[in-house]
Each structure stands twice: as C-alpha cells, then as structure tokens.
Structure 1
Amino acid sequence: MPKVSVKGQNMPESPIRKLVPFAEIAKQKGHKVYHLNIGQPDIKTPEVAIEAVKNASVEVLEYSHSAGFDSYRENLAKYYQNQGLPINKEDIIITTGGSEALIFAIGSTMDEGDEIIIPEPFYANYNGFSTQNGVKIVPVMSGIENGFALPAIVDFEKLITPKTKAILICNPGNPTGYLYSKEEIQQLAELVKKHDLFLIADEVYREFVYDGFQHFSVMNEESIAQHAIMIDSVSKRFSMCGARIGCIVSKNKELMNTAMKFAQARLSPPTYAQIASEAALQTPQSYFDDVITEYKERRDTLVNALNSIDGVEVSKPKGAFYCIAKLPVENAEDFAKWLLESFDLNGETVMVAPAAGFYSTKNVGQQEVRLAYVLKKEDLIKSAEILKAALAVYGK
C-alpha cells in the first residue's frame, strides 16, 4: 500500500475542531451544545456586503488579478490610512483568508529547516502552517499569571540562531486575548533590527480592543518598514469567516514580489468574496461601536462567571474574543471529551477547545482551555453554570 508523506503524518490536528465527532454524538442524544470552542461570531454580517453579492451583475465568473481586485486594494488602503496606518495599494496582496497570508509570509521568508520564534500559547494553526513549510517553531513561553504579556526580550534573544528568520505575534492574541502595548512592539522592533529578522504580526482582531486601550500596529513602527509583515482578514472584523478573504501587507518590495509568486501559483482569490469584502468597507462606524460594546459585555459576563467557580483561574483579555481558563483538572482534553460524551445539565452541555494544542512545547497547557465568548450573554451564563456543575461531578 502506498504511504502518505511524513509531513502529512506530522500535520497537527486542530484542537478547535478535533472534538467535533464528540459534539455530534452529544447532539444525536438530543443534547444542546454551547459552542465555546470556535471563534465563529454570531454577529450579523454587514447588510451592505450581502447585498453587494446579491446585486452583482457577473456574467462570467472570471479569475481576478493574483493580487486581488485593484479597486479593493485601493479602498482597503484608504481604510487603513483612515486608521492611521501608512499603507498603500502596492503594499497589499489579497489572499484566501488570513491563513493563506500566513502561508505566503512563512513561505516567502523561510526555507526548510529555518526557525520562527513565537510566544506561546499561539493560534494552533501556526503549527500546521510551519509544518507545511518544513519550518521549526521555537516557542517562548508566556504565562497566565501575568495575563500572557510579552515575554522578556532576553528570553527571545537567547533563542535566536543562524536559522532564525522571523518572530511571529498575534495582536490582539488568539487564544489569550492579550493586547501588546506600543512599548512591547517597539522592544520587538529593536530586536528584529538588531538581528535582521522579519516581524510578522497577525492583526486580524485589531478592532476588538477594550477598556480604552489602543491597538499599535507593526505598520506604525516606521523604523522596521523593511522588517514588518502584517496579516489581516475580513473574517472577524465583518463577521465574514466564510468569505475566506485576507491580505498580506508589507513595505518590503522584495518580500511582496516573492509573495506575489505564491499568489500567482494559486491563481487568484475568490471573486464573489472580494465583491462582498470590498462592499463591507462601507460599513458605518456605528456597526463597530455596537459590536465592541457587545463583546466587552460578553467578556465581562464570561470572565466574572468563571471567576465564581472554585479552582478556575482566568486571565481577563484586553482584546479579541477569547480567554484562556485554567481548570482544576489534570487533563483538559479528557474533560472536554467527557463533557460531550458523558455529561449534561438538563439536556445541555458545553464544547471547549483544549489549550494544549495552542502550544508547541510538549505537556504544557494540559489544564487549560480556550473559550470564545462569541455567544449571547444568556448563553455564556448558562455555559458557565454547566461548567461549574460538570467540574463538581468530574472532581469526584
């Protein structure tokens, strides 16, 4: 029998999706499952985006330019400029989701066997993107005790080798919700200049910032214009996860010319999704104001409810819509499976994402789960009640 590749065997399963079969079994039993495992917002997609697709007069569904619609890139650049980011049309390549933008970034900056330093826990698919490219992740640990703040620069520096090509951050962070300060970004800027590295910033949650804090982009740090690569997406900003439209952004011409070769190899991003994404740029500020208010309330609802459960430790996020909770269990993945297989409270249960899959260091995060507060507040309260009842039973 022919064998699959070693690379394929090494591709990690998604900690977000791997428990789906267990959730399906729970639903077959007639149980309602509250999905805190995945960052799929229930916020309505802007009507202007939906209408643009409905009203599009497309007679031939053609390829677009490999960099995406010229008009979309132009309008997207204006959108960024209105946010104070010095980004022009030629700095942007439209991609099939932020995922493809990350794959382009890693493929354009690293060869097989090279290394990328990432603060962990980190978005689980960074493991997959690195494996795809034969790149080694070198983790630098952050911790729940200080809210997953940026590790000390000395911790980064001691990991840098001749194989190191980039540092990757997610800001605000998935799965932690941590928001890097201007000072922390500037510390990283000095480090990448000193060692001639790229700084890749996954900024897909840039609008989701709370408590009066401000997002500071790597594109705002002019001193690293040739080092900075920004990753973005419409998925969360406009609640358009299914559109699969993102972008890679950089002032580095050689980098962007290289990324364009990857873009040409996959031909073009999807046409209808670009139509929707370009139209979404017309969304009024009131939409974002309402969404941010809603998510802040959801965050407070979930964090307060979790803090009321004995033995649970949770870090209060400053951005995005995730938090990491440390549970009084030995193995959070076993607990997550048990929740779906063997527990219900009045016919209802909860699906969570075991956080060990958000680390590359073995046997770390075993007691932690990532929770996405993308459900309405009543459902978050109910979910916390179920977790509290489940932990009381599980502990016995």
Structure 2
Amino acid sequence: MPQISAKGNAMPQSPIRKLVPFAEAAKKRGTTVFHLNIGQPDIKTPQVALDAIKNNDIEVLAYSRSEGSEEYRTKIANYYSKHNVAVKHDDIIVTTGGSEALLFTFGSIMDADDEVIIPEPFYANYNGFSTASGVKVVPVMSSIDNGFALPPIEEFEKLISPKTKAILICNPGNPTGYLYSKEEIKKLAEIVKKHDLFLIADEVYREFAYDGLTHHSVLAEEGLDENAIVIDSVSKRYSMCGARIGCIVSRNKNFMATAMKFAQARLSPPTYAQIASEAALETPDSYFTDVIEEYTERRNTLISELQKIEGVKVATPKGAFYCIAELPVLNADDFAQWLLEKFDLNGETIMVAPAAGFYSTPGVGMNQVRIAYVLEKLSLITAANILKEALVEYKATVEVATL
C-alpha cells in the first residue's frame, strides 16, 4: 500500500474544526448548537464590499498580478498610513488569506529544522504551518494567571539558538485576546535586533482593542525595517472570512523578493475577492466604532457570566474576540465532544475549541477551551448557562465513571 508522508502524519488536526462532524450530527438530531468554537463574526459585511461584486461588469475573470493589483495595494498602503505606519504599495504582497501569508513567510525565512519562538497559547494553525514548512516551534509559556502577558525577555533569550530565525506574535492575540503594549513591542524589537532575527506580527485583529487601549504595530517601531514582517487579513476586520484575502507587509526588500517567488508559484490571489476587499477599504470609521462597542459589550457579558460558574477561571481579553477559559474538567477534548454527542439543555448545546491544540507543549491546556464571543449577547448568556449545567452533569456522570 502507498504510504502517507511523515509530514502528513505529523500534521495536527484543527481544534477549531475537528469536532464539526459531531456538531453536524447534533444538528441532524434537532439540537441547536451555539458556535463558540470559531472566529466567524456575525457582524454584517460592509455593504460597499458586497456591492462591488454584485455591480461589476467583468466579462473575463482573469488572473491578477501575483502580488495583487497595484490599485488595491496602494489603497492598503493608504490604510496603513492612517494607522501611523508608512509603507509603499511595493512593500505589500496580497495573499489568499493570512494563512498563505504565513506559509510564504515561513518558506522565505526558514529552512527545515529551523526554529521559531512563539508565546503560547497561540493560534492553533501556527502548529500546522510549522509542520508543513518543516519548522520547529519553540514555545515560551504565558499564563492565564497574569492574563497571558508577554513572558519576561529573559525567557526568550534562553530559548534562542543558532537555529532560531524568528519570533512570532499575534497582536491582539488569538486565542487569548491579549494586547501587547508599546513597551512590550519595544522589548521584542530590542531582542530581534540584538540577535538578528525576524519579528513576525500577526495583526489581523488590529482594530479590535478595548478599554481605551490602542494597538501598536511592529511596523511603527523605528529601526526594524529589516526585521519586521506583518501578517494581515480582511477576514475579521470587515467580517469577510470567506473572501480569503490577506497580505504580507514588510520593508525588507530581500524578504519581499523571496516571498514574491512563492506568490508567483501559486499564480495569483482571487480576483473577485480583491475587488470586494478593495471596496471594503472605503468603509467609514463609524463601522468600527459600532463594532468595537458591540464586541466590548459581548466581552463584558461573556466574562461576567463565566465568572459566575463555579470552578471556571478566565482572563479578561484586551482585544480580538476570544478568551481562554480554564474548566474544572480533566480533559477538555473529551468534554467538548461530549457536549455535542451526549448533552443538551432544552434542545440546545454549545461547541467550543479545546485549548490543548493552541499549545505545542504536550499535556498543556488539557483543561482549557477557547471561546469566541462572536454571537449576540443573549446567545452568549444562554451559552454560558448551558456550559454551567453541562459541567455539573459531566462531572457527576462522565468523570466519575472514568475514575
């Protein structure tokens, strides 16, 4: 029998999506499933983006340039200038989602067995991208006890080896909602310059900062032109996850020329989605004011409800729209599947993402889940109540039975 590759066997399942078959089965049984597992906003996509697709007069749906259309990249550069980041259109490569941007980046700066340092927990697909690229993730642990703050710089320095090529952060963070301060970005800038490393910042949640806090881009940090690489996407910003349009942004010309070879190899990003994404840049600031107000209320609602549940620990997110909750269970994977297979409250249940998949350290996060507060407030209150009742029944039946 032909054999599957070692890389294929090592490729991790997504903790966000692996339980989908169980959710679909629950729905077929007539159970309502509240999806807290995935960062799919229910916020309406800006109408200007939808109209750009409906009202265009394209007769031939042709390839675009491999780096994306110049018009779109120029408008992206203008968008960045509004956020105090000075870049030109040729500092930008449009990609098929932020995922492709990360794959191009890993392929451009790291060889097999090279290392990237990432504060964990981190976006689960970083594990997958690393495996696909033959790269080793070296985790530096952050803790729910201090809200997943940046670990001390000394912890990073201890992990740097001749194989280390980059530090990767998500800011604001998925899955923790942590927002790095300007001072923390400066500390990271110092360490990458000292050790001649890249600093990759996944900034797709840039707009989503709460409590009067502001996002500080690595591209706004002086002296990082050769080190800084930003990964971006329209998915969350404009509630356009299905467009699959992202970009790489960097002033490092050698890096960008290398990434361009990867872009040429896959030909071009999707044309229709670029049209929609370019139009989305015309979205007024009031859209984000309203969205941030809504997410702030959702966050406050969810955290308040979770804090009422006995045995649950949760850190208050400062950005994005996720939180990590520590549950009074032994195995959150088991619990998450049980919720979909065996439990409902008045015909309703919830789907969460087991958090072990957001770590690369084996055995860590086994009693944690990621929750996305992308549903309206009443649904979040209902979901938290389902979680509360489910924990009581699970501990009384399933965990007792396994002892």
Shift of 1:366: 0.4
* 1:267 corresponds to 2:267: yes
How far apart in 2 are the matches of 1:362 and 1:45? 38
- 1:9 paired residue number: 9
- 2:391 paired residue number: 391
* 1:18 corresponds to 2:40: no
- 2:153 paired residue number: 153
Correspondence list, 1:120-269, <5 A = 120-269=120-269
Secondary structure in structure 2 of the residue aligned to 1:23? helix
Normalised by the size of structure 1, how large is the TM-score? 1.00
Task: Letter of the 1:243 partner, please give it.
Answer: A
Shift of 1:363: 0.2
How far apart in 1 are the matches of 2:342 and 2:132? 36
Task: Letter of the 1:286 partner, please give it.
Answer: S
RMSD (Å), alpha carbons: 0.5
Shift of 1:157: 0.4
Secondary structure in structure 1 of the residue aligned to 2:57? coil
- 2:314 paired residue number: 314
Shift of 1:173: 0.2
* 1:380 corresponds to 2:380: yes
Secondary structure in structure 1 of the residue aligned to 2:223? helix
Task: Letter of the 1:220 partner, please give it.
Answer: A
Secondary structure in structure 1 of the residue aligned to 2:175? coil
Shift of 1:105: 0.8
Deviation per residue, 1:151-210 (Å, 9 max, x gap): 010000000000000000000000000000000000000000000000000000000000
- 1:66 paired residue number: 66
- 1:109 paired residue number: 109
Shift of 1:90: 1.0
Task: Letter of the 1:375 partner, please give it.
Answer: L
Shift of 1:10: 0.6
Task: Letter of the 1:59 partner, please give it.
Answer: E
- 2:79 paired residue number: 79
Identity of aligned residues (%): 71
Deviation per residue, 1:28-51 (Å, 9 max, x gap): 111000000000000000000000
How far apart in 1 are the matches of 2:294 and 2:355? 25
Task: Letter of the 1:120 partner, please give it.
Answer: E
How far apart in 1 are the matches of 2:56 and 2:9? 43
How far apart in 2 are the matches of 1:217 and 1:184? 11
* 1:303 corresponds to 2:311: no
Shift of 1:380: 0.2
* 1:97 corresponds to 2:97: yes
Normalised by the size of structure 2, how large is the TM-score? 0.98
Task: Letter of the 1:292 partner, please give it.
Answer: I
Query: Runs (4+) of structure 1 moved beyond 3 Å?
Result: none
How far apart in 1 are the matches of 2:193 and 2:76? 28
Shift of 1:88: 1.2
Correspondence list, 1:29-40, <5 A = 29-40=29-40
Secondary structure in structure 2 of the residue aligned to 1:39? coil
Shift of 1:80: 0.7
How far apart in 2 are the matches of 1:54 and 1:28? 33
Task: Letter of the 2:217 partner, please give it.
Answer: S
* 1:330 corresponds to 2:298: no
Deviation per residue, 1:65-122 (Å, 9 max, x gap): 0000110000110011011111111110000000000001111100011000000000
How far apart in 1 are the matches of 2:13 and 2:394? 26
Deviation per residue, 1:115-138 (Å, 9 max, x gap): 000000000000010111100000
How far apart in 2 are the matches of 1:185 and 1:92? 22
- 1:371 paired residue number: 371
Secondary structure in structure 1 of the residue aligned to 2:268? coil
Shift of 1:224: 1.1
Deviation per residue, 1:344-383 (Å, 9 max, x gap): 1000000000000000000000000000000000000000
Shift of 1:25: 1.5
Deviation per residue, 1:2-28 (Å, 9 max, x gap): 111111111100000001111111111
Secondary structure in structure 2 of the residue aligned to 1:158? helix
Secondary structure in structure 2 of the residue aligned to 1:223? coil
- 2:401 paired residue number: none
User: Which runs of no fewer than 5 residues in structure 2 stay unpaired?
Assistant: 397-403
Secondary structure in structure 1 of the residue aligned to 2:45? coil
Task: Letter of the 1:263 partner, please give it.
Answer: A
Secondary structure in structure 2 of the residue aligned to 1:238? coil
